[in-house]
Homo-oligomer: A and B are copies of this chain.
């Protein structure tokens, strides 16, 4: 395994949802003080704010805005909802442009009242509909495969192979994939598919956290890096061997960590990042 140790925070990005109790002003100040260099902004943190001004505020704190999270949720058995989803993704592209980031993460969606095949077709069609807008705005779209335990309502794209297939079919420099270890660590084809993403220039984002044993909640019990069984260093070696040198994004949904003091949690994120990623 050919892997450079992490000695600084130049590539550390943290998602706003990871420290959900803080508003975006607090996040900017606290990330900056801790030496964190990147931020991925969840759209809920922008509600009621001037987006351009928020982007300037984040950059003034020395933060790179790595991505906007999230677009997607294209499938529905109801045509009006599919149209509304496309409108919302166009809005996300505008928001990304105003915020000053060139990347949106797509949680593709699924509708349990229809087949996975139908949901997958609607995901393709939805992304294809908004891709011209993304290209015009200089915004890339990262298709994030989600763990199969979310195939009912959150995403019908559940393996990196599927995301790679879709990104290739869409044939646009603005369509690529996001690799999140929490969703993909179990996949026996992961190394092969990460190499495929990288070779095709399609690996747009890399997200880390950990899988705890036991995991007591499917959505909000992710672990801090090092706390679980995901082979983080091995997967990072695959990601970097594939040519990726971008930010490493910490995305943790955790009722446990959200209920803790966020300053001490942020220190733990930084030390776990250095030690275990």
Which chain A residues have a beta carbon within 8 Å of chain B's beta carbons?
112-113, 115-116, 120, 147-149, 151-153, 158-159, 161-162, 185-188, 211, 213-215, 218, 228-229, 231, 234
Contact = CB atoms under 8 A, between A and B. Distances in A.
B213 A152 contact: yes
Contacts of A113: 229
Contacts of A186: 116, 148, 151, 158
Nearest to A212: B152
24 contacts: A112-B213, A112-B228, A112-B229, A113-B229, A115-B234, A116-B186, A147-B148, A147-B149, A148-B149, A148-B186, A148-B187, A149-B215, A152-B211, A152-B213, A152-B214, A152-B228, A152-B229, A153-B213, A153-B214, A158-B186, A159-B188, A161-B188, A215-B218, A218-B218
A160 to B, nearest CB: 12
A148 B147 CA distance: 8
Contacts of A215: 149, 152, 218
B115 A231 contact: yes
Among A147, A152, A159, residue most surrounded by chain B Cβ atoms (within 10 Å): A152
Contacts of A188: 116, 120, 158-159, 161-162
A80 B137 CA distance: 60
A218 B212 CA distance: 13
Nearest to A165: B188
